[in-house]
Amino acid sequence: MDEAIRALVESVENIAPHVWAVAVRQAQIDAWLSLFWFMVCVGIVVAYVHALRVGLRQFKESGEDEFILWDGSVLFILATVFIGVCMVVAIPLSLTSAVKGLANPEYAAMKALLALVS
């Protein structure tokens, strides 16, 4: 299998260097896009934590003795769980994809070309 991949890469580099260059460039673009989505996910987490801290501060400043569930508390809890699960999945996936694509775009190009062939 390893020899077949090497043969495919060599043939693409020799026969169609433009195709290889485009595939490598697309791998770099995909990596930057993954890095962008990583930053978006981190921004969502930071904004959510900030909103939570502001809400808790306002609750403490209100001087109430008991924690009273505000309207929409069930929706708030579900949103918290949903955002948490999404971020636990999205952040590592987007970061690893970005690092792999930026560190070795030729490998990502090779995988893309193999996916087209198979």
* pLDDT at residue 32, rounded to an integer: 93
Q: Say if CB 101 and CB 108 are below 8 A apart.
A: yes
Helix, strand counts (H, E) of the chain: 4, 0
User: Does the reported pTM lie above 0.75?
Assistant: no
The region of weakest confidence among 16-25, 46-55, 56-65 is 56-65
